[in-house]
Amino acid sequence: MQFGEFADIAAEIEELSADTEITEQVTHLFEGATDDLPVLARFVQGRVFPAWASRTLDIGPNYCYEAIARAAGTNVSADDVEDRLAEVGDIGEVAASYDFGGQQGLGAFTGGGASGTGASDGSGTSGANDLTVAEVADELDALAAAEGSGSQDTKIDILFALFNRADAVEARYLARLVLSEMRIGVGEGTVRDAVAGAFDVPVESVERALQVSNDYGEVARVAREEGESGLAELDLEVGRPVQAMLAQAGTVGDALEDWEEVAVEWKYDGARVQIHYDPEGLGWDAADDSADPTRSADAAGGEGRNRDNAREVAIFSRNMEDVTDALPEVVEEVEANLDAPAILDGEVVATEDGDPLPFQEVLRRFRRKHDVARAREEVELDLFAFDCLHAAGDDLLRTPLPERHERLDAIFDAEDGSGESVVSSLHLADDADEIASIETKALDAGHEGIMLKNPDSTYSPGRRGKNWLKRKPDVETLDLVVTGAEWGEGRRASFLGTFLLSARADGDAGDGDASNGEFETLGKVATGITDEELADLTDLLEPHIRKQEGQEVEIAPKVVFEVGYEEIQESPTYSSGYALRFPRFLGVRDDKDPESADSLARVERLADEQ
Size of the site for ligand AMP (CB under 6 A): 12
Nearer to ligand AMP, 36 or 347 (CB): 347
Q: Which of 314, 293, 312 is nearest to 302 (CA)?
A: 293
Closer CB to ligand AMP, 386 or 519, in the complex: 386
- Provide the mask over 538-557, with x wherever binding to ligand AMP is found by CB under 6 A and - wherever it is not: --------------------
- For ligand AMP, give the closer residue by CB, 47 or 453: 453
Measured in degrees and rounded to the nearest 5, phi and psi for residue 318 equal -60, -30
Q: Map the footprint of ligand AMP across residues 166-195, applying CB under 6 A.
A: none
Provide the minimum distance between the beta carbon of 442 and ligand AMP in the complex, in angstroms, as a whole number. 9
One symbol per residue from 347 to 376: x for binding ligand AMP (CB under 6 A), - otherwise; what is it? x-----------------------------
**Closer Cβ to ligand AMP, 52 or 266, answer by number:** 266
Q: Does residue 424 belong to the site contacting ligand AMP (CB under 6 A)?
A: yes
- How far apart are alpha carbons 564 and 48 in whole angstroms? 48
In angstroms, what is the minimal distance from the CB of 113 to ligand AMP? 41
- Measured CA to CA, the distance from residue 478 to residue 474 in angstroms comes to 10
CB of 347 to ligand AMP, least distance (A): 4
Shortest separation between residue 371's beta carbon and ligand AMP, angstroms:
26
List CB contacts of 380: < 8 A, sequence separation 6 or more: 329, 350, 351, 352
| Residue of 155, 267, 453, 524 marked catalytic | 267
- Residue 295 contacts residue 274 (beta carbons within 8 Å): no
Q: How far is the CB of 345 from ligand AMP (least distance, A)?
A: 8
Q: Does 247 bind ligand AMP (CB under 6 A)?
A: yes
Give the distance from CA 114 to its chain's centroid: 37
Any contact of residue 463 with ligand AMP (CB under 6 A)?
no
Cβ contact 233:218 at 8 Å: no
- Using CA atoms, how far apart are residues 53 and 289, in angstroms rounded to an integer? 8
149 DSSP assignment: T
Q: Which residues of 18-39 are buried (b: 16+ CB within 10 A; e: fewer)?
A: eeeebbbbbbebbeebeebbbb
Of 307 and 470, CB closest to ligand AMP = 470
Which residue is closest to ligand AMP by CB? 272
Is 267 annotated in the active site?
yes
Provide the 3-class DSSP secondary structure of residue 104: helix
Residue among 297, 296, 7, 294 nearest 131 (CA): 7
129 phi-psi bin (left φ>0, alpha ψ -120 to 50, beta other): left
Site for ligand AMP in 321-350 (CB under 6 A): 347
* Site residues (CB under 6 A) for ligand AMP, limited to 261-280: 265-268, 272
Active site residues: 267
Residues at the site binding ligand AMP, with contacts judged by CB under 6 A: 246-247, 265-268, 272, 347, 386, 424, 451, 470
